């Protein structure tokens, strides 16, 4: 069976010294290294999340600026259409006014020519009738 003697005590002391040495010389530095690595990784993750958040905000601002530019473009297009319609309407009114003036002037000329022609025909008819009367009486 198992005998308890001084070798067990020596083995136990050596084991304790070895455990202490391993803990002190290996596990603490490895633990510190692992902690440093964890903090570095968490820091990198935090920075990546911050960068992602900043990029999302920048993208959102970019989309807002594009939307504002589109709205401004649509507003300007609508303003140009409105101005073009106003100019077109003015041109139509001017053309209509010119048409009315030309028509009125043509009517006045026709009336004047008609009156002149009637007077001329009246004088010619009178001269003709005098000539006929003179020929008949002569």
Q: What is the pLDDT of residue 29?
A: 86
- Type and span of the H or E element at 30: helix 28-137
- Residues 40 and 47: their CA atoms lie apart, in Å, by 10
Taking residues 31-49, report their average pLDDT.
91
116: pLDDT strictly greater than 70: yes
Return the H-helix or E-strand segment holding 16.
helix 6-22
- Quick one: pLDDT at residue 31? 86
Q: Is the pLDDT confidence value at 52 over 90?
A: yes
Residues 56-95 pLDDT 10s: 999 999 999 999 999 999 999 999 999 999 999 999 999 9
Q: Give the global pTM.
A: 0.47
């Amino acid at each position: 069976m198992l005998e308890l003697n001084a070798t067990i005590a020596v083995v136990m002391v050596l084991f304790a010294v070895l455990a202490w040495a391993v803990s002190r010389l290996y596990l603490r530095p490895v633990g510190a290294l692992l902690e440093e690595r964890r903090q570095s990784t968490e820091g990198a993750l935090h920075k990546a999340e911050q960068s992602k958040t900043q990029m999302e905000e920048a993208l959102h601002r970019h989309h807002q600026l594009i939307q504002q530019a589109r709205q401004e473009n649509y507003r300007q297009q609508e303003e140009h259409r409105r101005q073009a319609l106003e100019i077109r309407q003015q041109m139509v009114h001017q053309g209509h006014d010119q048409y009315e003036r030309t028509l009125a002037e043509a009517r006045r000329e026709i009336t004047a020519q008609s009156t002149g022609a009637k007077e001329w025909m009246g004088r010619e008819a009178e001269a003709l009738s005098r000539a006929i009367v003179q020929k008949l009486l002569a």
